[in-house]
Amino acid sequence: MSVGILGAGAFGTALAISIASGRTTVQLWGRSADDMAEQARQRRNPRYLPDAAYPDTLHPTADLAEALGCEVLLLAVPMQRLRDVLRGLDLPPHLPLVACCKGIELATGLGPVRLISSLKPNPAAILTGPSFAQDIAKGLPTALTLACADPLVGTALQHKLSTANIRVYYISDTLGAELGGALKNVMAIACGAAIGAGLGDSARAALLTRGFAEMQRMAHHMGARAETLAGLSGLGDLALTCTSELSRNFRLGLTLGRGESFDKGVTVEGAATARATLDQAKTHGIDMPITQTVVRLLDGTDLHKAMDDLLSRPLKEE
Ligand SMILES: NC(=O)C1=CN([C@@H]2O[C@H](COP(=O)(O)OP(=O)(O)OC[C@H]3O[C@@H](n4cnc5c(N)ncnc54)[C@H](OP(=O)(O)O)[C@@H]3O)[C@@H](O)[C@H]2O)C=CC1
Ligand SMILES: O=C(CO)COP(=O)(O)O
């Protein structure tokens, strides 16, 4: 078995290490020939995961053909870059494509599986759920969801991508899986902002829970399954990301709450996804006040003003 991974950032590298640790051949592709040569020399990724050594069967490469020659292709680039990466690929027709990104494309409102399917005829899946790259790379236990509409392809991928420290569950609901993974990042920004501003753990619990209600509302409207949102790719990832400073989305929220600035070079999927989701919510008439508050915070609205507006909405049934 061989697995190709496009994107040698934190997540692509962590997955490569875990999969290659089981002696599977992994071609980890990155766009910078210099970076990939350095990874091959050091047998680690000095920029994104400096403490994790590469197993022998992990091959860092800048040659796309090496990754495209594998039996499965994982796409571990940021959501807003996925279209550009896919456009440049001349793919073998039956090569399964597994999105490993979490977000909604700003220009189209599409999640990763819908985007892949709009551009390529290949079988499309998503691997998502609660997992920090640092944990996976250390060999710590994680559980992920593999969603694919075709159960034969999906269960084959489930078995191929399960490793000693990644337990993969299969579901067919790709829409629910991509919505859960995308929207939890928006709620993580909101929770981080509450903690950063000193509003307390009770406020965080309220935002997490009411944020989950927003996620369910959007998912239900779009036709996703409620069970998917309650699973690893929804509630599971929401719980992780809203409670840990390892999350970049949560940390962006912390800085918003503290009135500090955040490094623009860091991948934070929730920012563009909040805007894309709010556009969709307006189009479909879905009430998403926390998502709207996150967009206002990103646009510079004072946190206390934004929170007052959120809390002073008309009272309603839960
Ligand atoms: N980090 C984590 O813990 C987890 C991340 N994810 C998801 O994985 C996805 C990727 O995130 P992550 O790996 O953390 O991000 P990083 O910022 O660590 O890495 C992003 C990678 O994508 C590459 N890249 C960006 N744009 C392009 C492009 N146009 N063409 C080719 N490569 C490109 C970058 O290359 P370069 O270095 O050259 O800029 C870099 O290698 C996100 O959607 C994230 O939500 C999911 C679960 C866990
Ligand atoms: O998706 C993640 C954990 O499941 C990673 O979260 P961040 O992108 O916020 O770091």
Q: What is the pLDDT of residues 139-158, one digit of tens each?
A: 999 999 999 999 999 999 99
pTM over 0.90: yes
Query: Does residue 74 form part of some domain?
Result: yes
Domain containing residue 66 = 2-172
CATH number at residue 23: 3.40.50.720
Query: Does residue 165 form part of some domain?
Result: yes
* 196 and 158 both lie in a single domain: no
* 194 and 105 both lie in a single domain: no
**How many domains are contained in the chain?**
2
Cα of 82 vs centre of ligand 1, distance in Å, is: 10
State the pairing for strand pair 25-29/97-99: unpaired
CATH number at residue 233: 1.10.1040.10
Q: Which residue has the tokens 């970076």?
A: 35
Backbone angles phi, psi at 58, to 5 degrees: -95, 120
Quick check: CB of 32 below 6 Å from ligand 1?
A: yes
Nearest ligand 2 atom to the CA of 129 is 4
Element (H, E) at 38: helix 33-42
Quick check: CB of 48 below 6 Å from ligand 1?
A: yes
Query: Does residue 95 form part of some domain?
Result: yes
* 211 and 114 both lie in a single domain: no
* 119 and 198 both lie in a single domain: no
Contact 31, 61 (CB under 8 A): no
Q: Is 248 annotated as a binding residue?
A: yes
Quick check: CB of 83 below 6 Å from ligand 1?
A: no
Nearest ligand 2 atom to the CA of 267 is 8
Quick check: CB of 48 below 6 Å from ligand 2?
A: no
Q: What is the pLDDT of residues 79-99, one digit of tens each?
A: 999 999 999 899 999 999 999
**55: DSSP letter:** P
Query: Does residue 318 form part of some domain?
Result: no
ipTM: 0.99
* 31 and 125 both lie in a single domain: yes
Which of 89, 159, 146, 144 has the alpha carbon at shortest distance from 122?
89
Q: What is the pLDDT of residues 122-141, one digit of tens each?
A: 999 999 999 999 999 999 99
Q: What is the pLDDT of residues 218-275, one digit of tens each?
A: 999 999 999 999 999 999 999 999 999 999 999 999 999 999 999 999 999 999 999 9
Cα of 10 vs centre of ligand 1, distance in Å, is: 6
Query: Does residue 177 form part of some domain?
Result: no
Q: Is 102 annotated as a binding residue?
A: yes
Of 141, 172, 203, which residue constitutes the final position of a domain? 172
* 134 and 193 both lie in a single domain: no
